[in-house]
Chains A and B, each alone.
Chain A
C-alpha cells in the first residue's frame, strides 16, 4: 500500500510498515485549516473544489474572489439599471456604514460617479461620525451628496401623536421616512433607488420591513456581512468605514452585533452551513456553540415572512404570483 492509499483509508492498526507510511503521509499533508478533519490535497485541479467539513474555525466557505464579484456586481448594476429599466441615474442613501458605502462605490464604478446621487438622511440622534463617514466615501468615489434631515418629519408624527414611542419605534419610523425621501428624490431626478441590505441582515430579519428592503434593485443582498467587508476593502471603501463596528445608528451607542448577541463572522458561518442543509445537531457535533446556532437559526426561522411580499388571499386560478407567473423583467 502506498503512503497516499494508507492515508486515504485512515491507516491500519496492523502492520508497522503501514503505520510508518501513514505517519509519513500525514507529515507530508499538513491540515490547511486547524479545525477541519479533512487534509488538504497534495495536488489539485483548480476547477475541482476541495471537500470540507464544517468547522467554526474554518471560514473558507465564505471566501470570495473580490475581483470577480466586483465585476459581477458592476455588470449587474449596468444591466438592471440601464438595459432592463432604462435609467441613467441612481439614488443611494448614505448612512456612513459599509453597506451603503460599498453600494454607492459599485454604482459609481458601474455608471460613473456623476450618475450617483448620495443622500445623507440624518435623524437628530444620528452620530457625527456617520455623517463624516458618508462624506468620506462620497469624496473617495466622486459622488455628489445632499443632506435632508428626517428629524422634522419623524418627530412631527411621534412627538405630536405618539410621544411615548421608544427608540425601536423611532428607528422604524426614521427608516421608513428615509425611503419616502429616497423614492421622492428618485422620481424628481428620474433615477432608480438602489438598496443596500446584505444577506446576513436579510436572513436574520435585522432591518425595517418595507423600508431598507424596498428599493427595486439590490447588489449586496446575496453577500454575507463578512463578504461585504472583504469586497469593500478590495473596492477601496475607506478603512475607517470598513473596520468600525457595524451599527444601524438608530440609537446612540447601538451596534448590530450587540443587538444580535453574536458576531457577524460567527453568525455568517452558521447561516452558511444552515442554508446548505446542515442541522443544528450536525453543527454542534462539528464544534459550533449550540447557543449561537440556536440564536441564529431561531431568528432565521422567525423571519421568513419578512423576506416575502405581503400574503394575498388567493381566490382564483389567475392569482398573481401563484398562477399568473411572469418574471420581473418580462
Chain B
C-alpha cells in the first residue's frame, strides 16, 4: 500500500493570519481534489501562516498551538469532511514565550492536534535574526500518525545532521522539513538558486543516511526583496529525488510513497542498523559529545 502525500508549496499573505488561514483551508480542499486519491497528509512550509520576516511583529502574529488547531479544524470542517493530516509552520505563543513552530494535526471527522515541533537551531547571522525574536525549542521527537512515524524539522534544524539522526533513532520513517529559505546565489550550473542546490544535497543525504523518506516544503514569495523561491522536493530512502516543486510559484506537489522501500534501503545498505548499534557507545566514549567522560582540558 502506498502513502499519498502532497507538498503545498505556499505563499502566505504577509502578516494576515485570517486571510492566510482561509487560503490554507482552500489549499487543503484543492489538494484533496487534485488527484484520484485524496492525500493523507499535506505539508506546508515554515511560517506558512504569516510569512517569515516579521521582526518584532512576531509578538503580534504568534498564536497558541491550540488556538491555531481549533481555527484550522473549524475552517476545514466548513469546507470538507474528508480526513486529512496537515503539517503547518507558524509563530507560536506559549506562556509568554514565542517559538518558530510547526503544528501537525488531524483534520476532518475526528480532529486532533498530534504534535508541535519548536525549531531548535535558530539562524542568527547575515539576513537571519531569529534568536533576537524567538526562543529555541527543546528537542527533536518522532510521533505516530496515519502515515506512519513522523518527525518534523524546521529549516536550519536540517542543516545539522544530528537532528535527522535523533529523529530516525526515535523511529521516524518520514522526516518532514518545513523551510523558508531566502534565495541567494545565481552561479551558472544548477539552474536554481544556490540555497536550493544546498537543500538538494541535504535532503538526499539525510534520506540516504538513515533510510527514511524526506519531504522538504518550501515557502514562496518575496518579503522585502528577499525571495522565497519554492523548489520543494522529496527524497526516497535511497536518497533519490522523488519530485520537485516549480520555482517562484505556488504548487501542489503530489507524492506516492511506498513504505516497503524503507526496509529495502535499510537492508541493502544497513547504515541505520550500524548507527542504532553504535550510538550510545559513541556518545559515551566521544569527548565531543559532552556526556560520559569529561572533555579533556586544552593543553
**Interface positions of A (Cβ within 8 A of B):** 46-49, 63-65, 67-69, 71-72, 75-76, 79-80, 83-84, 217, 324-330
Contact B223 A71 (CB under 8 A): no
Q: With a CB–CB cut-off of 8 A, which chain A residues contact B191? A: 65, 67-68
Contact A327 B223 (CB under 8 A): yes
Q: Nearest-CB distance from B231 to chain A (Å)?
A: 11
Contact A76 B197 (CB under 8 A): no
Q: Nearest-CB distance from B191 to chain A (Å)?
A: 6
Contact B224 A63 (CB under 8 A): no
Contact B55 A327 (CB under 8 A): yes
Q: CA A65 – CA B196 in complex, angstroms?
A: 14
Contact A47 B187 (CB under 8 A): no
Q: CA A83 – CA B187 in complex, angstroms?
A: 28
Contact A76 B186 (CB under 8 A): no
Contact A63 B187 (CB under 8 A): yes
With A72-B227, A75-B248, A83-B221 known as contacts, the answer to whether A325 contacts B55 (CB < 8 A) is yes
Q: Nearest-CB distance from B107 to chain A (Å)?
A: 28
Contact B225 A76 (CB under 8 A): yes
Q: CA A80 – CA B194 in complex, angstroms?
A: 22
Q: CA A328 – CA B222 in complex, angstroms?
A: 11
B159 at the interface (CB under 8 A from A): no
Contact B248 A72 (CB under 8 A): yes
Given A76-B222, A326-B55, A327-B224, 20 other A-B contacts at CB below 8 A?
Answer: A47-B190, A47-B200, A63-B187, A64-B187, A64-B188, A65-B188, A65-B190, A68-B186, A71-B248, A72-B193, A72-B227, A75-B248, A80-B222, A217-B225, A324-B56, A325-B55, A326-B54, A326-B56, A329-B51, A330-B55
**Interface positions of B (Cβ within 8 A of A):** 14-15, 51, 53-57, 183, 186-194, 197-198, 200-201, 221-225, 227, 229, 247-248
Q: CA A217 – CA B197 in complex, angstroms?
A: 28
Q: CA A328 – CA B194 in complex, angstroms?
A: 25
Q: Nearest-CB distance from A32 to chain B (Å)?
A: 13
Q: Nearest-CB distance from A309 to chain B (Å)?
A: 14
With A46-B190, A84-B14 known as contacts, the answer to whether A325 contacts B56 (CB < 8 A) is yes
Question: Which 9 A-B pairs have CB atoms at the shortest separation, nearest pair first?
Answer: A79-B222, A47-B197, A325-B55, A325-B56, A75-B248, A328-B224, A65-B188, A64-B186, A327-B53
Q: CA A267 – CA B57 in complex, angstroms?
A: 39
Specify which of B57, B188, B198 is in contact with A327 (CB 8 Å cutoff): B57
Closest chain A residue, CB of each to CB of B224: A328
Closest chain A residue, CB of each to CB of B198: A47
Q: CA A65 – CA B227 in complex, angstroms?
A: 16
Closest chain B residue, CB of each to CB of A47: B197
With A72-B186, A76-B227 known as contacts, the answer to whether A330 contacts B222 (CB < 8 A) is no
Q: With a CB–CB cut-off of 8 A, which chain A residues contact B54? A: 326-327, 330
With A76-B222, A83-B221 known as contacts, the answer to whether A330 contacts B57 (CB < 8 A) is yes
Contact B183 A47 (CB under 8 A): no
Q: With a CB–CB cut-off of 8 A, which chain B residues contact A47? A: 190, 197-198, 200-201
Name 20 interchain pairs, CB-CB below 8 A, sorted by A: A46-B189, A47-B200, A47-B201, A49-B187, A49-B194, A63-B188, A64-B187, A65-B189, A65-B191, A68-B191, A68-B192, A72-B193, A72-B227, A76-B225, A79-B222, A80-B222, A326-B56, A327-B55, A328-B224, A330-B57
Q: Nearest-CB distance from B205 to chain A (Å)?
A: 11
Q: CA A47 – CA B200 in complex, angstroms?
A: 8
Q: CA A72 – CA B194 in complex, angstroms?
A: 13
Q: With a CB–CB cut-off of 8 A, which chain B residues contact A49? A: 187, 194
Q: CA A313 – CA B40 in complex, angstroms?
A: 56
Closest chain A residue, CB of each to CB of B50: A330
Residue of B56, B189, B194, B201 ringed by the most chain A CB atoms within 10 A: B189
Contact A329 B56 (CB under 8 A): no
Q: CA A292 – CA B223 in complex, angstroms?
A: 36
Contact A71 B247 (CB under 8 A): yes
Q: CA A217 – CA B51 in complex, angstroms?
A: 20
Contact B190 A75 (CB under 8 A): no
Q: CA A165 – CA B183 in complex, angstroms?
A: 45
Closest chain B residue, CB of each to CB of A64: B186
Closest chain B residue, CB of each to CB of A231: B186
Q: CA A328 – CA B14 in complex, angstroms?
A: 11
Q: With a CB–CB cut-off of 8 A, which chain A residues contact B198? A: 47
Closest chain B residue, CB of each to CB of A45: B201
Q: CA A325 – CA B59 in complex, angstroms?
A: 11
Closest chain B residue, CB of each to CB of A72: B227
